[in-house]
Amino acid sequence: MAALNPNWHPILTAIEEPVGVWTLHAEVRGDEERRPTGVVRLVRRGDEVRYRGELTDSTVVGYWNSLLPAARATHGAWLQTLGPGGSPNSDWEKSRVDRHTRS
């Protein structure tokens, strides 16, 4: 198994187009091209500069003071969408266990 690169960061997959909008991408097994997973936008309110992270379905992840944490959190939010959700003891786990223990 290949070792993870500790220098890798989600910002390395970002493409800035247009200016101030970074689209994060992921290589998904089976896809020939990288697909967008989230967007980080530069937002200005007066003198304040913030970075807004959102998933591709427009779900807002949050706001940050710099680009790197915004990209990291947006990527992490996308990773969380890949699983079934809930805790290990959630309803989906119980129904799976019940299905396998019935006779």
Tokens of 45: 């309110």
For the chain, the domains span 10-101
Q: What is the pLDDT of residues 6-63, one digit of tens each?
A: 666 777 788 999 999 999 988 766 666 778 999 999 999 999 999 999 999 999 999 9
pTM of the predicted protein model: 0.71
Choose among 39, 43, 51: nearest CA to 15: 39
Phi-psi region of 99 (alpha: psi -120 to 50; beta: other; left: phi over 0): alpha
Task: Tokens 């990291």: give the residue.
Answer: 72
Please state, in angstroms and rounded to a whole number, the distance separating the CA atoms of residues 70 and 76: 10
Q: Where are the alpha helices (DSSP H) in 17-89?
A: 67-80
Contact status, residue 53 vs residue 62, Cβ threshold 8 Å: yes
For the beta carbon of residue 100, count every other beta carbon within 10 angstroms. 7
pLDDT at 92: 56
